[in-house]
Amino acid sequence: RFIVLSAGYLGSLLWGGLLLTLAARTYCHRYISMALGSIIIVIGLVFVRPLISFGLIFALATGVALFVIGYFVHEAVNDFILR
Dump pLDDT digits (tens) for 6-23.
888 888 999 999 999 999
- Looking at residue 4, its pLDDT comes to 76
Q: How many residues does the chain have?
A: 83
pLDDT single digits (tens) 26-55: 999 999 999 999 999 999 999 999 989 999
pLDDT at residue 1 above 90?
no
- Looking at residue 6, its pLDDT comes to 83
